[in-house]
């Protein structure tokens, strides 16, 4: 059976490795970090805290056909416990405090109650994102009549493919506050509604409205570890602390460093879970990246000595606090402000049975848009000082919404774009691959290399950032690869 080497043990690499090892391929995954998972992981802190690095909400569980198929095939539903928050998100600005339900009916009712004059546009919006979602889903599986009658059957695809969120929202809505509310969680995808592809917005938001957002009980590392265990159970190998440094195309082998020693591993097929830029550089193949890269994220991890739900009562799991932001223009400007003055999301894991701490304690995280350039030209001391200062500013901001919360903080730690670059090694310290802009998002996904016949890609660089696209990219990669093998 063919030898497959996977570079990187993020969700894309692990899912592809698990699927292919189950099909009998000899899979070896090489991960530079000392644990698997990439963004999908946790870390521990004194006091019994398991800290979730990345996952706030995963969309598409049970409702996304591709993910459902993958999870069923790999036994994920039987082995991993998922927990669902009560709502999609809460958004609080200086003038609005709104809970967005995680289902279409509920969302429509709440929005219409708040904005009765916008009833028709609210209906139009939900109908449009639903249409776009299902038509985009069908694109990968078109029948002959879909192709012949494409302009008729898929006219929304043609009509909206070059539109930004801003353009479509301006067409549908007159109310600026409503536009902001429907876009409050844009930080999950991008930093600017003027350039964000409406297709990405429709696909992702509809998926959350259709099936809700989910957390993995015990943290996302459970899923990553489980996927690695499937690879091992099927005769594959997962090496951590294995930093791939070179791809030798002629001898079909990769060089990696493990315990300061260079090792060589031969492959028949190579799957890369890292960016094309890094992959081609390792193979000495020219590749000029002309695409804009996604932004990074700043996180403030907080361990609480008390269960926040016991202190503040039942509330939202995921709250977007948008200070000095009244509309989409303000939001776009806000990501250019100093980090502590940007809007942020606070995820209060005490609101669900997250399984991250004991019952008496709880864990939370604050996140905002971050850029590597925010941390340019600082020596170590200045970097640490700035990080500390931002951490305090964030906690002070949280106190405005959760009075005296500082009293319950047992540990607080900030992770910046630099931290992400250190642990993930992604260009631009992004967790979202290429920026999902109008210009870039709606392109045929590149799971197969055009430059090397036995090289495939998975992860955030194929379909986009997020748990679902990273996982689903593995199915695309496997289907393409199996087709190629059959043809050969």
The three-class DSSP label of residue 74 is helix
What is the smallest separation between the CB atom of 462 and ligand FAD, expressed in angstroms?
Answer: 8
What is the smallest separation between the CB atom of 451 and ligand FAD, expressed in angstroms?
Answer: 18
Dihedral angle sign, alpha carbons of residues 22, 12, 62, 136: negative
Q: How far apart are CA 363 and CA 372, in angstroms?
A: 26
Q: How far apart are CA 231 and CA 218, in angstroms?
A: 21
What is the smallest separation between the CB atom of 215 and ligand FAD, expressed in angstroms?
Answer: 9
Closer to ligand FAD by Cβ: residue 122 or 244: 244
Closer to ligand FAD by Cβ: residue 118 or 221: 221
What is the smallest separation between the CB atom of 404 and ligand FAD, expressed in angstroms?
Answer: 26
SS3 letters for 200-244? HHHHHHHHHHHHCCEEECCCCHHHHHHHHHHHHHCCCEEECCCEE
Of 120, 302, 102, 54, nearest to 212 (Cα)?
102
Q: How far apart are CA 202 and CA 145, in angstroms?
A: 25
What is the smallest separation between the CB atom of 272 and ligand FAD, expressed in angstroms?
Answer: 9
Closer to ligand FAD by Cβ: residue 101 or 465: 465
What is the smallest separation between the CB atom of 283 and ligand FAD, expressed in angstroms?
Answer: 12
Binding site for ligand FAD (CB under 6 A): 7-13, 30-33, 38-40, 54-58, 243-244, 273-274, 297, 299, 367, 420, 424-426, 431-432, 459-460, 465-468, 470
What is the smallest separation between the CB atom of 65 and ligand FAD, expressed in angstroms?
Answer: 17
The terminus-to-terminus CA distance of the chain in angstroms comes to 14
What is the smallest separation between the CB atom of 156 and ligand FAD, expressed in angstroms?
Answer: 25
Q: How far apart are CA 29 and CA 140, in angstroms?
A: 28
Q: Are 464 and 445 in contact (CB under 8 A)?
A: no
Q: How far apart are CA 345 and CA 367, in angstroms?
A: 5
Closer to ligand FAD by Cβ: residue 101 or 427: 427
β-pairing, 3-7 with 269-272? parallel
What is the smallest separation between the CB atom of 471 and ligand FAD, expressed in angstroms?
Answer: 8
Query: Structure tokens of 54?
Result: 């990345």
Closer to ligand FAD by Cβ: residue 122 or 293: 293
Closer to ligand FAD by Cβ: residue 4 or 118: 4
What is the smallest separation between the CB atom of 426 and ligand FAD, expressed in angstroms?
Answer: 6
Closer to ligand FAD by Cβ: residue 118 or 352: 352
β-pairing, 89-93 with 97-100? antiparallel
List beta partners, residue 256: 244, 263
Q: Which residue is nearest to ligand FAD (CB)?
A: 10
What is the smallest separation between the CB atom of 69 and ligand FAD, expressed in angstroms?
Answer: 18
Cβ neighbour number for residue 481 with a 10 Å cutoff? 23
Closer to ligand FAD by Cβ: residue 163 or 425: 425
The three-class DSSP label of residue 442 is coil
Sheet strands (E) in 404-460: 409-415, 455-457
Q: Are 414 and 370 in contact (CB under 8 A)?
A: no
Closer to ligand FAD by Cβ: residue 173 or 188: 188
Closer to ligand FAD by Cβ: residue 118 or 424: 424
SS3 letters for 5-64? EEECCEHHHHHHHHHHHHCCCEEEEECCCCCCECCCCEEEECCCEEEECCCCCECCCCCC
Closer to ligand FAD by Cβ: residue 88 or 154: 88
């Amino acid at each position: 059976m063919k030898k497959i080497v996977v570079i990187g043990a993020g969700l894309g690499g692990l899912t592809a490795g698990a699927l292919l090892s189950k099909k009998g391929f000899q899979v070896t995954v090489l991960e530079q970090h000392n644990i698997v998972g990439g963004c999908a992981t946790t870390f521990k802190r004194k006091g019994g805290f398991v800290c979730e690095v990345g996952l706030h909400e995963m969309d598409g569980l049970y409702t996304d056909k591709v993910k459902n198929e993958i999870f069923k095939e790999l036994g994920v539903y039987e082995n991993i416990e998922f927990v669902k928050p009560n709502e999609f998100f809460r958004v609080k600005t200086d003038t609005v405090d709104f809970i967005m339900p995680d289902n279409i009916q509920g969302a429509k009712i709440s929005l219409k109650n708040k904005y009765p004059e916008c009833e028709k546009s609210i209906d139009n919006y939900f109908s449009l994102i639903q249409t776009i979602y299902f038509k985009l889903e069908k694109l990968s599986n078109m029948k002959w009549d879909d192709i012949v009658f494409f302009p008729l059957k898929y006219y929304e695809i043609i009509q909206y493919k070059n539109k930004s969120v801003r353009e479509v929202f301006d067409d549908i809505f007159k109310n600026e506050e409503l536009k902001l509310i429907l876009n409050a969680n844009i930080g999950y995808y991008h930093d600017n509604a003027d350039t964000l592809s409406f297709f990405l917005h429709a696909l992702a938001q509809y998926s959350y409205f259709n099936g809700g957002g989910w957390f993995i009980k015990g943290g996302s590392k459970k899923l990553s570890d489980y996927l690695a265990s499937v690879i091992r159970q099927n005769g594959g190998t997962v090496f951590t602390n294995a930093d791939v440094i070179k791809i030798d195309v002629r001898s079909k082998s990769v060089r990696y460093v493990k315990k300061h020693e260079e090792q060589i591993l031969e492959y028949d097929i190579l799957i890369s879970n890292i960016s094309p830029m890094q992959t081609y550089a390792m193979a000495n193949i020219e590749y000029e990246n002309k695409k804009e890269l996604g932004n990074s994220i700043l996180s403030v991890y907080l361990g609480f000595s008390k269960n926040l739900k016991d202190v503040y009562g039942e509330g939202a799991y995921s709250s977007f606090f948008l200070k000095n932001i009244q509309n989409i223009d303000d939001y776009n400007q806000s990501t250019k402000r100093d980090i502590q003055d940007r809007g942020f999301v606070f995820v209060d894991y005490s609101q669900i049975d997250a399984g991250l701490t004991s019952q008496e304690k709880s864990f939370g995280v604050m996140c905002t848009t971050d850029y590597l350039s925010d941390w340019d030209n600082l020596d170590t001391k200045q970097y640490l000082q700035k990080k500390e200062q931002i951490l305090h500013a964030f906690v002070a901001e949280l106190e405005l919404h959760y009075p005296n919360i500082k009293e319950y903080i047992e540990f607080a730690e900030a992770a910046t774009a630099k931290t992400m670059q250190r642990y993930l090694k992604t260009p631009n310290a992004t967790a979202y691959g290429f920026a999902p802009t109008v210009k870039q998002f709606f392109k045929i996904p590149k799971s197969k290399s055009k430059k090397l016949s036995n090289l495939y890609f998975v992860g955030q660089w194929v379909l986009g950032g997020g748990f679902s696209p990273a996982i689903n990219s593995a199915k695309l990669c496997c289907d393409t690869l199996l087709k190629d093998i059959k043809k050969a």
